[in-house]
Amino acid sequence: MLHIDQNVIEDIERGFSIPAQPKLLQKLQDLVTKEEPELNLIAKTISQDVAISSTVLKTINSPVYGLARSVSDIPKAVRYIGLEGIITLVTCSLIKQTFEQKDCSIALNEFWSNSTSIANVCVQIGNTLKQAISKDILFSLGLFHDCGVPIMAMKHSDYHKTFARALKFPNIPITTIEDTTYKANHATIGYYVSSSWRLPKEICQLILAHHERDFIDNPFSRIQKFYFAILKMAENIVHQKRYNKDTPDWKFLKDKVLNLLVLTEVEYIEILNSADENIQSC
């Protein structure tokens, strides 16, 4: 895995417009890390932001969470999915608000629709497996894994062309093409963003490594490999549904992913065919 040292961090800070951690998230994380977090105060703090509250409730009541009954307010949401879950959803909602289309050379609505679909399918895959896996981590990883992309697209007006070129040369990882073109890549920048927003360390590390085609072969923990495998499968399923073809990474990872997750080709196809309700329209 790429080692992020101080020089890399300084290069990112000098060259890219990195969104600062929102004050609401700072406040919530401070409240959560107290010895005895006050659930009512946390719920009240979230409820003061009407837009975020609405987005959180919409997500909780979506098919992704599969709740038996609808959740009508933030206090109930906090009690129902817990502190980790609610902070995850608030963080995911806030990241979408930090970029403006006028500054970006890619279509942000399409980008976030794609990321949300991948997050949804990550959870869908996780629900089919016997392995105990955090739904919150899966959703966050799916939504945040490419968060460096819009930052690249804000700095480079031709980034959309580079992204398209990477799809035409599947034998070369997109991060390698980015490094050659810009001396930076979206995985490294995404790692910096997720770290500065204080996302769980395991999510940050997976964001950094999510285009490493030999990840499963390396000595990472089994649970890290599970999260990585689920993300890569979800990416491919969403790409298949949108463009009727595999992602550039998939042919290098397919067998390893299915073996790790103990899924047959038929079971993979069943997940693919049942993913439609979790994929947002652009």
Burial, 272: exposed, middle or buried (Cβ in 10 Å; 0-12, 13-18, 19+)?
Answer: middle
- pLDDT, residue 108, reads 94
What digits encode the pLDDT tens for the residues 66-109? 777 788 899 988 888 888 888 888 988 898 888 888 889 999 99
Instruction: Judge whether residue 17 has pLDDT over 90.
Output: no
pLDDT surpasses 90 at 163: no
The domain 101-282 having CATH identifier 3.40.50.300: the answer here is: no
Long-range contacts made by residues 213-220, C-beta under 8 angstroms, separation at least 24?
213/173, 213/249, 213/252, 213/253, 215/1, 216/253, 216/256, 216/257, 216/260, 217/256, 218/1
pLDDT for 10 equals 59
State how far the Cα of 113 lies from the Cα of 281, in Å rounded to an integer: 7
Residue 281 has pLDDT above 90, yes or no: no
Residue 148 near residue 185, CB atoms below 8 Å: yes
pLDDT band at residue 58 using 50, 70 and 90 as cut-offs = confident
Q: Read off the pTM.
A: 0.89
Domain boundaries, the chain: 10-98, 101-282
Please give the single-letter amino acid code of residue 87: I
Binned at pLDDT 50, 70 and 90, residue 125 comes out as very high
Q: How confident is the model at residue 282 (pLDDT cuts 50, 70, 90)?
A: low
One-letter amino acid of 1: M
Q: What average pLDDT does this structure show over 234-246?
A: 96
CA nearest to 55, candidates 107, 21, 97: 97
Residues 186-198 pLDDT 10s? 999 999 889 888 8
- Most distant pair of Cα atoms in the chain: their distance: 53
Dist CA 178 CA 266 (whole Å): 35
Sign of CA dihedral 199, 155, 55, 138: negative
The pLDDT assigned to 103 comes to: 80
Mean model confidence pLDDT for the chain: 89
Closest by CA to 92, choosing from 150, 153, 142, is 142
Instruction: Output the pLDDT for position 62.
Output: 80
What is the arithmetic mean of pLDDT over 36-40? 90
What pLDDT is stored for residue 167 in this prediction? 87
Q: What is the mean pLDDT of residues 15-25?
A: 82
